[in-house]
Structure 1
């Protein structure tokens, strides 16, 4: 579980991703070099090596369109068994607030609905679904576990990047997953709270 500095951490990660985009945007995003860098960044994030270039890869991937979406989806799926909050998973989750992609949505939907997946992974999957269906704000992990309203953290009036567009039924699919958790898994208090938070917030959008 993150400590009291986690809200600042969330803001820092999002701002890092967003502040990197203008710099990358000055280059030709269709260039051979950019495409090569995107493939390399995807390998680094999904395989974890070389570890000393992970921050660079995290900053670049939101500019990589479908390649970025595919890499982020694979990286998220690799944390499927995570039972407790993990900074590496948090970094991946925060990328999904600035890049929307059908493969990211599908990966999160699969983990959220999977009863054999780790608790933290499923809660984070609900956050990813929340990000994929929303715009211009983030939220801390604890916000999905608390009894109060979700804490929205504005991340500015930035255009979100889109890789592969989300399917038309994305919102309905996500809501069905959340309500399935609420109705069929009442014994898991944290997971049910997160699912209720997602369902309530999605309904107000």
Structure 2
């Protein structure tokens, strides 16, 4: 009788273990799905913020989703082109800020186009020049003020600090091989044109002088 009970107990343990192992994939799927759904929802909201600028409190958050959401760089380029006549500096700052740590051909082309566009707003052109500056110096401490203000000697400040040696740049779509020459051609033309608005010229100086042919 004792032997029979032992065998029954052993069989029950084996059955319990088998059922547990069968349930593991289901448990894993149940745990994985909420995370992926959450990320999809986050990326959907980030796209909405880039597109519309709303909800306003999410601007900074959305600008930091570049390394988590597929197609984010293309969304940035599209947002820049749509906002080329905007004077909303908070929105322009947010949609161009990802260029601080990512490089993408579409973003490059959008920035180059806006930089040269006299029909674009002054803030949009300055922020486009910041994107071009970051292509040359990723993660440099550059903002609207440093690009348009001058120091006591009349020189444009350009940046508060140089690029970090620890900066990690995410390349989405490689830049064209002549990116440096094209940036210099556009920004040096703007820089020399005295009829251009002063903030646009000043920011172009920062980019043109750092992309001169070596």
TM-score by length of 2: 0.68
Deviates more, 1:31-40 or 1:102-111: 31-40
1:64 counterpart SS class? coil
Match of 1:164 in 2: 173
Match of 2:124 in 1: 121
Q: Aligned to 2:69, which of 57, 64, 67?
A: 64
Equivalences, count:
174
The answer on whether the counterparts of 1:70 and 1:103 sit within 8 Å (CA) in structure 2 is yes
Matches within 5 A, 1:191-202: 191-202=200-211
Q: Look at both structures and tell me which one has the larger radius of gyration over its CA atoms.
A: 2
Q: Cα distance 1:49–1:120, how it changes in 2: closer, same or farther (>3 A)?
A: closer
Q: Cα distance 1:53–1:176, how it changes in 2: closer, same or farther (>3 A)?
A: same
Q: Cα distance 1:64–1:156, how it changes in 2: closer, same or farther (>3 A)?
A: farther
Residues 96-140 of structure 1, C-alpha deviations (whole Å, 9 max, x = no match): 111111111111111111111111111111111111232242312
What is the Cα-based RMSD across aligned positions, in Å?
Answer: 2.8
Matches within 5 A, 1:112-151: 112-145=115-148, 146=150, 147-151=155-159
1:179 is aligned to 2:182: no
TM-score by length of 1: 0.71
Q: Cα distance 1:162–1:86, how it changes in 2: closer, same or farther (>3 A)?
A: same
4+ residue runs over 4 A deviation: 31-37, 49-55
* Ranges in structure 2 where 5+ consecutive residues have no aligned partner: 1-31
Match of 1:101 in 2: 104
